[in-house]
Chains A and B, each alone.
Chain A
Amino acid sequence: DAMVIQNPRYQVTQFGKPVTLSCSQTLNHNVMYWYQQKSSQAPKLLFHYYDKDFNNEADTPDNFQSRRPNTSFCFLDIRSPGLGDAAMYLCATRGDSDYNEQFFGPGTRLTVL
């Protein structure tokens, strides 16, 4: 089945230690998104790629970076995680039409010690 895959599902890191979360998709969608979701809140968009064009949200901290080496893969790098970065990180993809639904991966739950 075509899908959005996120690895790892659970990630523990130490305060200030860089961490990378990965997302892959078999849907061949040209748009990929990264969201941060804290407990009992709606997902918050961090950034997205339209093909290779990177779009950062204005309020996304500089501590968060992203890479998309090809259509299938997208990475979220947190350069110096703080306790406030502990959250669920969701990757999503979308097809060509701007109004298409987004398909979400299972998420990576990040714990910062």
Chain B
Amino acid sequence: AQKVTQAQTEISVVEKEDVTLDCVYETRDTTYYLFWYKQPPSGELVFLIRRNSFDEQNEISGRYSWNFQKSTSSFNFTITASQVVDSAVYFCALIWSGGSNYKLTFGKGTLLTVNP
């Protein structure tokens, strides 16, 4: 069965600190995709990144970076120099080819609070 675990329920940091959100996944399939979404207090889920199982290159986008390690089944997300606007719930999610209808399997989310 496929599963996404975000062990950190809540994280609180002070502005300008770096913060890493952990994501560990389980799947038996060799072809799968991993995603990160941001859900600010307004409620809309905002797509951040998609990574396929064959591409282990890390990615950087501005203050955001992602570390994908198949050896540890992890896809961690780091925010550098955090800002108050980064406060949100962040969801890690997985799609695998063996599942029906290619559904997104979400982790339970991590609530990030960035204090001024």
Contacts and interface: CB of A to CB of B under 8 A. Distances in A.
Given A98-B95, A98-B102, A99-B102, A43 B45 contact: yes
Interface residues of A, number: 22
- Give the interface SS of chain B, mostly helix, strand, loop or mixed: mixed
Count chain B CB atoms within 10 A of each CB in A88, A104, A109 and give the residue with the most.
A104
Nearest to B6: A42
A107 B40 CA distance: 12
A42 B108 contact: yes
Contacts of B102: 98-99
Interface string B11-54: 00000000000000000000001010100001111110010100
Nearest to B10: A40
B8 to A, nearest CB: 14
Contact of B35 (A43, A45, A90, A101): A101
Contact of B43 (A40, A50, A101, A106): A106
Interface residues of B, number: 22
Interface string A49-60: 010000100000
A86 to B, nearest CB: 14
A100 B35 CA distance: 10
Nearest to B103: A45
A59 B77 CA distance: 32
A103 to B, nearest CB: 7
Contact of A99 (B33, B37, B46, B109): B33
30 contacts: A40-B109, A41-B108, A42-B91, A42-B106, A42-B108, A43-B45, A43-B91, A45-B104, A50-B101, A55-B101, A88-B43, A90-B43, A92-B45, A98-B102, A99-B50, A99-B52, A99-B102, A100-B50, A101-B47, A101-B50, A102-B47, A104-B37, A104-B44, A104-B45, A104-B47, A105-B44, A106-B43, A106-B44, A107-B44, A109-B43
